[in-house]
Amino acid sequence: MTDECCKKSFWDSAKDTAKRIMEDPSVASQQVQQERREICNFCEHRTAFDTCSLCGCVIALKIKPNNMKCPIDKWVESK
């Protein structure tokens, strides 16, 4: 995957998320989602609205697809 998820625009991030889901609709395991959530919960880039201030993604949605990754590599794509 490319680093397209690291765009700052919410709409660009939403478009990239949709593209990634269409390319690989598989969902990360509950354990992986929980690990990603815990990392994001304590991240300095998490906003009060549960979004990432770097890429604009809604964290609750971003942690689910296998092929998503943190824009600063705090967590990576699940294989």
Q: What's this model's pTM, rounded to 2 decimal places? A: 0.81
- Average pLDDT of the chain, as a whole number: 87
Between CA 56 and CA 31 the distance in angstroms is 24
User: How does pLDDT run across 42-65, given as a tens digit for each residue?
Assistant: 999 999 999 999 888 899 999 999
Q: What is the pLDDT of residue 6?
A: 56
Between CA 51 and CA 48 the distance in angstroms is 7
